[in-house]
Homo-oligomer: A and B are copies of this chain.
Amino acid sequence: MTGPNDLNTEQEGSPDALEALYATLRTNFPDERLSREPGTRWAYGMDNSRLHHPADIVAFPLSHEEVVVLVQAARAHRVPLTTRGRGTGTAGGSVPVHGGLVVVMDRMNAVLEFRPEDRLIRIQTGMINAELQRIVAAAGFFWPPDPTSNALCTVGGNLGCNAAGPHAVKYGTTRENVLGLKAVAGTGATIIAGTETTKGVVGYDLTRLLIGAEGTLGIITEATLKLTPLPDARCLIRAFYRDMHAASQAVSRLMNQPATPAAIEFIDGNALNLMRNHAQNPDALAIPDTAGALLMIEVDGTRDALESQTKMIQQAACGPLTPDRPESAEGASAADPNAPLSLVIAHTPEEMATLWSARKALSPTLRHVAPKKINEDVVVPVSRIPVLIGELDRISLRHAVKIVNFGHAGNGNIHVNLLIDPEDPDQRASAETALAEVFSTVLSLGGTLSGEHGIGAVKREYIRKEIAPESLTLMHGIKRVFDPDGILNPGKKIPD
């Protein structure tokens, strides 16, 4: 919502400071890893938000020690420093809104130590998430955080935003899957935090403090990740419901029984309509005419246990058994309008891919409705999803802004998409008002403004709605301890 023109530019490095910084860095970095070339500066001035501000200098470090050099030099010359991976973030977290030095981490992608016997891997944080998964899968493990962008995003980005994606419902978020870190504070000091072990209580928990801090407290250069054994079997349930109320009840039942699904993704009625009207091959999606919500439920586990787990989960998805419907089964009972309209289970990778196609057909269709989507990732307690969805419908009507929702239902993590034409000032204004109401509603339901996309530059001014002034004062104090000169990712995460 905030364009670069709205941003305070006081903290930009002066031309002299930038010149001096560049001269310093030239003595440490070869030409191919240090750039002032306009195309490079432009390219590293954007991420997956609409924000853009060119970098002044772009550096590509290869080691922790080189990052120390970069931070010390930026500090000495009082030049802002923004760290980035592949720029898949949607909140402008890696856009250098005050210019300055951009540190691109994706060449720091080495495996430093892989010890399957200790369920850990230590890597440089510029490694792509999917590459990490490939490496650890060879030994029978996975790293549970796998955001939808996992083919592109770096582990460092996952750490910066605590981004975990769909499997957090069973396996926790990023902060639950990291053992320790190496980082560089804004002072240039090296931070060694955490342990190689799953228990540890020596000192304060700097590991979790840096995770989710979006590069404003330190640059995480290396991470020791906690690995989980790959489940040896998996299946996928696709269930259509009459409406989000019925689907949300199913989500509550799913979360209130011992077989926790590996993922519970949902798509609301507006999104289903988009798919009906705009998907390339809508018949293949087999959306029932009366469906107003879709759940995709992933089940994983050991091979012998999968069948019984799936049965429990299927039963929870179908709802309480009634005399009319003595056992859980595909299809709805006439007596229970909240039972699924249809339910299918895919067991082979091919069948699962076919079912996922419905979910994957969604994003492209959003473009048919409006040129821009304002993509939020609010979170509410699971039991309050139906209230939120009802309120979102009302907000949509009140402000004539199309809202489409999908997301990670098991965590209550809802991707609220406001679809607008940004060239239309009326639509922009309506969207801003609607968004403020969305946030107020989320907070009134005990929720939080961002599950994993982060705050970046875009949501920073909303933070005071959620965080009390006394807590914010402590956060400012922490920021000053780690980054006394305010050089690390200025203009992000917490309001000044």
Q: What separation, in Å, do the CA atoms of A461 and B474 have in the docked complex?
A: 27
Contact B161 A470 (CB under 8 A): no
Residue interface mask A176-197, B partner, CB < 8 A = 1: 1000000001000111110111
5 pairs of A and B residues whose beta carbons are closest in the complex: A304-B308, A477-B481, A305-B305, A208-B208, A199-B451
Contact B383 A117 (CB under 8 A): yes
Task: Contacts A120-B381, A203-B467, A302-B259 given; indicate if A197 touches B229 (C-beta within 8 A).
Answer: no
Segment 441-469 of A: residues with Cβ below 8 Å from B: 446-455, 463, 466-468
Chain B hits for A408, CB < 8 A:
199
Chain B hits for A230, CB < 8 A:
258
Q: What separation, in Å, do the CA atoms of A204 and B450 have in the docked complex?
A: 13
Contact B466 A203 (CB under 8 A): yes
Q: What separation, in Å, do the CA atoms of A169 and B191 have in the docked complex?
A: 27
Q: What separation, in Å, do the CA atoms of A231 and B308 have in the docked complex?
A: 14
Q: What separation, in Å, do the CA atoms of A257 and B229 have in the docked complex?
A: 6
B205, B258, B382: which contacts A302 (Cβ < 8 A)?
B258
Q: What separation, in Å, do the CA atoms of A256 and B189 have in the docked complex?
A: 36
Q: Is A115 engaged at the interface, CB distance under 8 Å to the other chain?
A: yes
Segment 398-416 of A: residues with Cβ below 8 Å from B: 408, 411-413
Taken together, the copies of this chain in the complex come to 2
Q: Is A201 engaged at the interface, CB distance under 8 Å to the other chain?
A: yes
Nearest opposing residue in chain B for A446, CB measure? B196
Residue interface mask A155-170, B partner, CB < 8 A = 1: 0000001111000110
Residues of A at the B interface (CB closer than 8 Å) are 115-120, 140, 161-164, 168-169, 172-173, 175-176, 185, 189-193, 195-206, 208-209, 211-213, 217, 229-232, 252, 255-260, 301-305, 307-309, 311-312, 379-384, 408, 411-413, 446-455, 463, 466-468, 470-475, 477-478, 480-482, 493-494
B175, B192, B231, B307: which contacts A471 (Cβ < 8 A)?
B192
Task: Contacts A168-B198, A169-B198, A229-B258 given; indicate if A475 touches B380 (C-beta within 8 A).
Answer: no
Chain B hits for A384, CB < 8 A:
118
B115, B140, B301: which contacts A305 (Cβ < 8 A)?
B301
B211, B259, B304: which contacts A205 (Cβ < 8 A)?
B211
